[in-house]
Amino acid sequence: MEVVRQPAGGELRARQLRARDMLRGDLEGADLDRFVEERVMTTTLERAVNWASSNSLFPLTFGLACCAIEMMSIVASRLDAARFGSEAWRASPRQADLIILSGRVSIKMAPIVRRIYDQMLEPKWAIAMGACSSSQGVFNNYAVVPADKFMPVDLHVPGCPPRPEALMHGILKLRTMIQENPELGWRARYHAEGTTELAPAQARAEGEPPGAQGEPARGASGENAGA
Ligand code: SF4
């Protein structure tokens, strides 16, 4: 491939001269207004924060079963999650804001997974990857429990296993949701604020709502809660 250096066009030169005039204080009136309008962008702090957090999702280093093998490949060169700021997998839930449930969760594991989710700091997001964590998958028995039964899930990625491209598509959907309408997230829809884990005494003092402290979220049966 031949790389050709193009000479700078007249438009670039005109912009350079306008910038020079502005710095000298020579730009006034309508010219100054147009210069500012072309270069200044206004937004709200909330939108700026959402934009930043959606482009720097830190997934938890956390795999459950076969789906996890597909999940691992999204950081490799083919899909390269780094393009969207999601390559920094964190070993501690305190430093992660995205948990990907990549595989089946047994009833015995559910409280542990929920506790890991509770240890993540707000704002945080959860993706149920694959049929098992979304709907028990092929395991038509009492041992496997869908993630919705014990914790909030923001997005489901179907498949058994979903291809890495499907997971990447899910992460991009989540990114769009955070940027455009975070209200679509589970916690906002169900007013489930404050799911970050607190010490029991602190939680009582702060009037922590049901669903926190490792208690089951909506739809959880007593059977699951006791497991
Ligand atoms: S959805 Fe399929 S690939 Fe994923 S954990 Fe379940 S059985 Fe394994």
Count each helix (H run) and each strand (E run) in the chain, helices first. Answer: 10, 3
pLDDT at residue 100 tops 90:
yes
pLDDT band at 193 (very low <50, low <70, confident <90, very high): low
What are the residue ranges spanned by the domains of the chain? Answer: 52-182+218-226
Ligand 1 nearest-atom number relative to CA 104: 5
Buried b (16+ CB within 10 A) or exposed e, 59-80: bbebbbbbbbebbebbbeeebe
Pocket test for ligand 1, best of 101, 134, 160 (most atoms within 8 A of CB): 160
pLDDT band at 222 (very low <50, low <70, confident <90, very high): very low
Nearest CA to ligand 1 atom 7: 160
Sheet of 98-102: strand order equals 98-102, 125-129, 155-157
The candidate with the shortest Cα–Cα distance to 195, out of 181, 214, 221, is: 214
Question: Which residues line the pocket of ligand 1, CB cutoff 6 A?
Answer: 65-67, 103-104, 130-132, 137, 160-161
Mean pLDDT across 156-172: 95
Q: Which helix H or strand E contains 157, and what residues bound it?
A: strand 155-157
pLDDT at residue 153 tops 80:
yes
Quick check: 103 and 65 in contact, CB under 8 A? Answer: yes
Pocket test for ligand 1, best of 101, 104, 145 (most atoms within 8 A of CB): 104
Report the DSSP beta bridge partners of residue 100: 127
Q: What confidence tens digit (pLDDT) does each residue in 2-52 have?
A: 777 766 667 888 888 888 988 898 888 888 888 888 888 889 998 999 999
* Mean pLDDT taken over the chain: 83
Q: How far is the CA of 129 from the centre of ligand 1 (A)?
A: 9
Pocket test for ligand 1, best of 62, 64, 67, 140 (most atoms within 8 A of CB): 67
Q: How far is the CA of 107 from the centre of ligand 1 (A)?
A: 16
Which CATH number is correct for 52-182+218-226, 1.10.3720.10, 3.30.565.10, 3.40.50.12280, 2.60.15.10? 3.40.50.12280
186 CB contacts (<8 Å, ≥6 apart)?
126, 152, 153, 154, 192
Q: Is 129 helix (H, G, I), strand (E, B) or coil?
A: strand
Instruction: Tell me phi and psi for residue 70, to 5 degrees.
Output: -65, -40
Q: What is the pLDDT of residue 223?
A: 38
Q: What confidence tens digit (pLDDT) does each residue in 44-97 have?
A: 998 999 999 999 999 999 999 999 999 999 999 999 999 999 989 999 999 999
* Residue 151 CB neighbours (<10 A): 27
pLDDT band at 195 (very low <50, low <70, confident <90, very high): low
